[in-house]
Amino acid sequence: MIHIITDSTSDMTHEEAAELKIAKAPLTVHFGDTAYSDGVDITPDAFYKLLSEGKDLPTTSQAPPAAFEELLKPILAKGDEAVIVTIASALSATYQSAVIATQNAAPDKVHIVDSRTASGGLALLLRHAARMRDSAQYTAGQIADELRELGPRVVIYGAVDTLKYLWKGGRVSRGKAVMGNLLNVTPVVMVRDGAISVADKARGEKGSLKTMLRLFENSKPDLEYGVAFMHGDVPERMERYIEAFQPVLDGTAVYRARLGSVIGTHTGPGIVAMAFINRE
């Protein structure tokens, strides 16, 4: 039997993960001296409330090796196999934690994949992995190889209210964050192959929506895998984006997600993002 394990940055709800038979190892978010396991003892509601009230920005830390060991123990005890798919190694040490947790496991039993992405992009890969597993036509190694091939092709575009959170988390330079605020623009960031960059700039919601739509149309999305839309506590804004994108989605599956505490720490509230898999 093949099991799929990921981490909490996929931003799948517990119900979605359970339906897909996917286990999650939580990362940690820290508000001052208090640590919370992402999605376990802090909900998105509680996180965004703390974020709005807090004077100091939260920080995050990777899922520890013990979190993966706990999930793997019953799997390996039965002689089953596991495919572990983590957030991009360039964004978190969670991938390394998975490697440490499996160093004593037989290499043919556990296959670790650096997704090169996060959040909705990671969730797209996981949904594809679940479909492959459920078809009973692929080995665990074949599923892992497929995800390694797809990972670098996952693209995320996101319109953020401010680059402050990405700067504080060390994801963009201070200069870019300051310029974005001074010019009163909405940066549209891109995540691809584990790297975060500013893809373009826009003014206001209408401008950022048009910019994201243009970037999407100029890409080569493979709609076979569906698209994911994510938001930082602004569900109504996300729905406006989805409605505007409908004419170019050609009836493909649309998945929705609310950014959890770890990803939300680095993006802040107000973001609307989308993820898709390119043809190349």
Q: Which domain holds residue 263?
A: 153-277
Please tell me whether residues 111 and 217 are part of one structural domain. no
Q: Which residues, at least 6 apart from 129, have a Cβ–Cβ distance to it below 8 Å?
A: 4, 83, 85, 143, 146, 147
Domain end marker among 120, 152, 184 = 152
Please tell me whether residues 115 and 199 are part of one structural domain. no
Q: Which residues, at least 6 apart from 108, have a Cβ–Cβ distance to it below 8 Å?
A: 81, 141
Which residue, 107, 40, 98, 36, is CA-closest to 71? 98
CATH of the domain at 226: 3.30.1180.10
Please tell me whether residues 116 and 190 are part of one structural domain. no
Please tell me whether residues 97 and 175 are part of one structural domain. no
Which residue, 255, 272, 236, is CA-closest to 120? 255
The alpha-carbon radius of gyration of the chain (Å, integer) is 18
Do 165 and 267 touch, CB atoms closer than 8 A? yes
pLDDT truncated to tens, each residue of the chain (280 aa)?
999 999 999 999 999 999 999 999 999 999 999 999 999 999 999 999 999 887 778 999 999 999 999 999 999 999 999 999 999 999 999 999 999 999 988 878 999 999 999 999 999 999 999 999 999 999 999 999 999 999 999 999 999 877 766 655 454 444 444 444 545 678 899 999 999 998 998 888 999 999 999 999 999 999 999 999 999 999 999 999 999 999 999 999 999 999 999 999 998 899 999 999 999 8
Domain end marker among 100, 120, 152 = 152
**Structure token pair of residue 66:** 């013990």
The number of domains in the chain is: 2
